[in-house]
């Protein structure tokens, strides 16, 4: 039945093309231009707007906004066990955009964008740092920082001996424990 309908439609289309070739050419040309324009627009939009996250298995990363976390004394994050133990949650990490901070280095202050994260943040995203043990390698009682590659290059001249060096952010000392790869600019262009 379906094959008969398709055969009948094809026969009518060929008959129309035979009787009115100019109209058929206009229709085919219009469809060709429309499909080409649609493909071009989608390709450009995908390249600009719908980029994949630069993380391994990015399709498994989910952003959850809400009260699944709390901050304990000393600035440590705690994930609600009810949330982290929910079905489908393999692991969870926390980040909190902190806004801007003054990086004090050798008597000058530079304004940089900072975020607070849980120690397992890079591990959960599957990100390997350029170098350094990262936040999981630091002691729980010390303030530690991972620098973006851009900040490392700009403020420290790509000096690999920057590890374990102390920096001051808004008057508080932090020990540098790693440098993030260039593709990691999340959350929102964070530099430390």
Could you read off the pLDDT of 142-154 as tens digits, one per residue?
788 889 888 888 8
Q: Provide the pLDDT for residue 144.
A: 86
148: CB partners within 8 A, 6+ apart: 179, 180, 182, 184, 185, 190, 191, 192
Residues of the chain with pLDDT > 70: what percent?
A: 77
Spatial contact of 40 and 48, defined as CB atoms under 8 Å apart: no
Q: What's the rounded mean pLDDT across residues 91-116?
A: 79
- pTM as predicted: 0.64
- Token pair of 18, please? 């035979």
Confidence band (pLDDT; 50, 70, 90) for 106?
Answer: low
Q: What is the distance between the alpha carbons of residues 100 and 104, in angstroms, rounded to a whole number?
A: 13
Q: What is the domain partition of the chain in residue ranges?
A: 2-49, 58-179
Confidence band (pLDDT; 50, 70, 90) for 68?
Answer: low
Average pLDDT score over the chain? 79
Greater model confidence, 59 or 89:
89
- CA-wise closest residue to 69 among 114, 115, 117: 117
Which residue, chain included where needed, has tokens 């540098």? Answer: 176
Determine phi and psi for 27, rounding to 5 degrees: -65, -45
Greater model confidence, 40 or 62:
40
Q: What's the rounded mean pLDDT across residues 60-69?
A: 64
Q: Provide the pLDDT for residue 71.
A: 53
118: CB partners within 8 A, 6+ apart: 77, 79, 93, 94, 95, 135
Q: What is the distance between the alpha carbons of residues 191 and 172, in angstroms, rounded to a whole number?
A: 16
Q: Tell me which long-range contacts 79-88 makes (C-beta under 8 A, separation of at least 24).
A: 79/118
């Amino acid at each position: 039945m379906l094959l008969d309908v398709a055969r009948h439609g094809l026969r009518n289309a060929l008959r129309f093309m035979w009787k009115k070739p100019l109209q058929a050419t206009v229709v085919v040309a219009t469809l060709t231009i429309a499909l080409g324009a649609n493909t071009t627009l989608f390709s450009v939009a995908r390249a600009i707007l719908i980029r994949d996250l630069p993380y391994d298995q990015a399709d498994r990363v989910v952003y959850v906004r809400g009260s699944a976390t709390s901050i304990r004394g000393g600035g440590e994050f705690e994930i609600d066990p009810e949330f982290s133990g929910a079905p489908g949650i393999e692991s969870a990490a926390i980040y909190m955009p902190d806004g801007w901070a003054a990086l004090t280095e050798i008597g000058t202050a530079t304004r940089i964008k900072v975020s607070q994260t849980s120690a397992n943040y890079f591990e959960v995203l599957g990100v390997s740092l350029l170098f350094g043990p990262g936040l999981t390698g630091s002691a729980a009682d010390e303030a530690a920082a991972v620098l973006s590659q851009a900040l490392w290059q700009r403020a420290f001249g790509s000096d690999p001996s920057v590890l374990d060096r102390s920096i001051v952010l808004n008057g508080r000392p932090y020990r540098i424990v790693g440098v993030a790869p260039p593709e990691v600019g999340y959350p929102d262009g964070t530099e430390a």
